[in-house]
Amino acid sequence: MMDQIAQLREKMNTILIEDKATLERFRQDFIGKKGSIAALFETFKQLPIAAKKTIGPLLNGLKNEAEKKFKSAASILEAVAPAIQQPVDVTLPAFGPAIGSLHPLTIVQNKISSIFQRIGFNLAEGPEIVGNWHNFGALNFPENHPARDLQDTFFLQLNPVQLLRTHTTSVQISTCTDQSPPIRSIAVGRVFRNEAISARSHCFFHQVDGMYIDTAVTFSDLKGTIYHFVEAMFGRATKLRFRASYFPFTEPSAEVDIHCRLCQGKGCTVCKQSGWVEILGAGMIDPNVLTNCQIDPEQYSGFAFGMGIERIAMLLYQIDDLRLFSENHLDFLRQFKGCLGFSDGAVFAK
Ligand code: DAH
């Protein structure tokens, strides 16, 4: 009897249940009242008590295995039944691949660099990890300036004279050292600051930094360039103002505000009821910076400006939380589908 059980198990295991007909045949052959297992149970009844004790568990085991196989095959066939009933029409057009969209920061970055490239600025590049000299020293930051502090800047643990650049102004130094005037360039990229993450600040964000160095460059050239940028970016009617400010690397320095786009200058939470929002810092390049890059300040002068790309994007698209740019919510990102940011030369703002 043990041999019969083993043979039946082997036979059962070789059966592949692929359709309902095979399933029904399996049920009749193995589980049904007239099936082979039921027949074995009939023979079992005739056995002496001692034999029953050893054969009983084996026979029950076989019966359980058969029922398990039947049930799992039945549920699989049930699940795939609709697909089998409705075969795929292979002549239907295929689903296209899902196409993503550009990140809003890439779109705004494209817009900004496109505006400046059209008026003769070249794209300059620089590394995200720089030395103290490129980020601070050459840019005329005094030794005790708070920005040089661990609280504000990420220094590399292995090599504390290296740091994550806190502004793209560091690219000015490598560009000025590598090239000689006239230089007209913009640098775009990520910058890092040791700040708590909130709706208004982040430990990394993006900046565009620009400069123009030539003989007899004046503050009027800076103003003309910034007026052009604001008009192309935000529209012709946008009001702007220059405010006196301070940066170690420019003298004189200014900050530029535009009329708040959310409240049309009437005052709201975004502009802190002032009607104005700051969009960039700028100024005439400090002669010390030129000297640090082996450019003679007697012969050459220049202007520079820098802005946060997130800030511009927030104003342009009325986004009120900086964290949205780095959290990758698809609902947020999908809103920018189809935008590229480049333009054929017309004013961008709409
Ligand atoms: N680097 C400054 C910042 O991160 C922005 C800036 C201001 C850049 C004035 C400049 C400039 O090039 O001239 O806040």
Rounded Cα distance between 66 and 329, Å, is 49
User: Whose alpha carbon is nearest atom 2 of ligand 1?
Assistant: 306
Ligand 1 atom nearest residue 250's Cα = 13
Question: For a substitution probing ligand 1, which of 141, 217, 247, 303 has the most ligand atoms within 8 Å of its CB?
Answer: 247
Distance 226 CA to ligand 1 centre (A): 14
Distance 168 CA to ligand 1 centre (A): 8
At residue 343, the pLDDT reads 56
User: Whose alpha carbon is nearest atom 3 of ligand 1?
Assistant: 167
Q: Are 117 and 149 in contact (CB under 8 A)?
A: no
Q: List pocket residues of ligand 1, CB cut-off 6 Å.
A: 167, 169, 209, 247, 250, 281-283, 304-306
**149 — phi, psi (to 5°)?**
-80, 150
Distance 99 CA to ligand 1 centre (A): 36
User: Whose alpha carbon is nearest atom 8 of ligand 1?
Assistant: 306
Distances (CA, A) of 204 to 59, 196, 228, 235, 314: 69, 10, 28, 29, 16
Rounded Cα distance between 242 and 201, Å, is 24
How many C-beta neighbours within 10 Å does residue 133 have? 13
List of E strands, 76-200: 122-124, 129-131, 162-164, 183-192
Q: Which fold, 104-336?
A: BirA Bifunctional Protein; domain 2 (3.30.930)
Sorted by where each begins, the domain ranges of the chain are: 2-85, 104-336
Write a three-state SS string for 59-71. HHHHHHHHHHHHH
Rounded Cα distance between 218 and 276, Å, is 26
At residue 270, the pLDDT reads 77
What is the H or E stretch that residue 244 is in? strand 240-247
Ligand 1 atom nearest residue 211's Cα = 12
Question: For a substitution probing ligand 1, which of 193, 209, 255 has the most ligand atoms within 8 Å of its CB?
Answer: 209
Ligand 1 atom nearest residue 308's Cα = 4
Q: Is the pTM of this model over 0.85?
A: no
Distance 170 CA to ligand 1 centre (A): 10
Read off the tokens for 316. Answer: 């342009």
At residue 200, the pLDDT reads 87
Read off the tokens for 48. Answer: 């002496």
pLDDT tens, per residue, the chain with 350 residues: 889 899 989 998 899 988 888 999 999 999 999 999 999 899 999 989 888 898 999 999 999 999 999 999 999 888 887 766 777 888 988 888 888 889 999 999 999 999 999 999 999 999 999 999 999 999 999 888 887 887 799 999 999 899 999 999 999 999 999 999 999 999 999 999 999 999 889 999 999 999 999 999 999 999 999 999 999 999 998 999 999 999 999 999 999 999 988 788 888 877 889 999 999 999 999 999 999 999 999 999 999 999 999 999 999 998 989 999 999 999 999 998 877 776 544 444 43
At residue 116, the pLDDT reads 97
Distance 305 CA to ligand 1 centre (A): 6
Distance 253 CA to ligand 1 centre (A): 9
Ligand 1 atom nearest residue 172's Cα = 12
Question: For a substitution probing ligand 1, which of 130, 222, 249, 309 has the most ligand atoms within 8 Å of its CB?
Answer: 249
At residue 140, the pLDDT reads 95
**Cα R_g (the chain), whole angstroms:** 37
Question: For a substitution probing ligand 1, which of 112, 140, 169, 289 has the most ligand atoms within 8 Å of its CB?
Answer: 169
Distance 281 CA to ligand 1 centre (A): 5
